[in-house]
């Protein structure tokens, strides 16, 4: 069920609504079609901040995802990532700060903290009841799709109110 429906545009119809149920990964697949650019590497560790999150999600956990960068860069957002454990940051007072990670070029199961800037066309944040992302029974309680995310000086921020689409499960 959607908590927010925004008009989307197409070449044939400038005011239609989507009614599909999108998960984090299905939203990210759209990124490949829309394209994005990422440039440069900064010295600071990059974070993504989501603000204005409804209070009913305080105490819940978040994970973000962005794709792009010469078609090869995949960013994931989590508090910490090791080869055996992924922990998620907790939402507090309507806000969550999510460190961004990229897959190591040397090992597919290894992630390193992302240090860079970039402009992303589309991203997604999934919300969960638990902070351990390795829980096989874990399912998202909500998903938020965002557009036009810019990482500058190691930081990116968006408001819940900027959502292209919000899906609650």
**Residue corresponding to tokens 């990059």:** 46
> pLDDT for 141-156, tens place per residue?
999 999 888 888 989 9
Asked if residues 70 and 38 have their Cβ atoms less than 8 Å apart, the reply is: yes
> pLDDT for 94-117, tens place per residue?
999 999 998 877 666 788 898 888
Please provide the DSSP assignment of 37-88 as one string: EEE---SSPPEEEEE---GGGTT-EEEEEEEETTTTEEEEE-SEE-SS-EE-
Per-residue pLDDT, averaged over 56-60, amounts to 98
Q: List phi, psi (to 5°) of 64.
A: -110, 165
Q: Per DSSP, what are the bridge partners of residue 90?
A: 61
Which pLDDT score, from 0 to 100, does residue 127 have?
97
The percent of residues above 90 in pLDDT, for the chain, comes to 41
> pLDDT for 27-52, tens place per residue?
333 333 233 333 334 446 799 999 99
The percent of residues above 70 in pLDDT, for the chain, comes to 67
> Alpha carbon of 102 to those of 37, 75, 77, 136, 141: distances in Å?
15, 5, 9, 22, 25
Burial class (CB in 10 A: 0-12, 13-18, 19+), 87: middle
Per-residue pLDDT, averaged over 5-20, amounts to 36
């Amino acid at each position: 069920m959607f908590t927010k429906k925004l008009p989307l545009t197409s070449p044939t119809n400038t005011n239609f609504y989507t009614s599909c149920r999108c998960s984090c990964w299905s939203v990210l697949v759209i990124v490949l079609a829309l394209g994005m650019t990422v440039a440069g590497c900064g010295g600071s560790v990059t974070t993504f901040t989501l603000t204005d999150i409804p209070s009913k999600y305080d105490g819940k956990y978040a994970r973000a995802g962005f794709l792009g960068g010469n078609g090869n860069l995949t960013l994931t957002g989590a508090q910490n990532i090791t080869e055996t454990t992924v922990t998620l940051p907790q939402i507090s007072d309507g806000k969550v700060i999510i460190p961004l990670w990229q897959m190591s070029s040397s090992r597919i199961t290894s992630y390193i903290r992302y240090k860079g800037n970039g402009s992303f066309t589309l991203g997604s944040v999934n919300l969960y009841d638990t902070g351990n992302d390795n829980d096989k029974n874990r399912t998202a309680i909500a998903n938020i799709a965002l557009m036009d995310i810019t990482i500058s000086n190691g930081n990116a921020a968006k408001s819940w109110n900027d959502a292209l689409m919000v899906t609650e499960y």
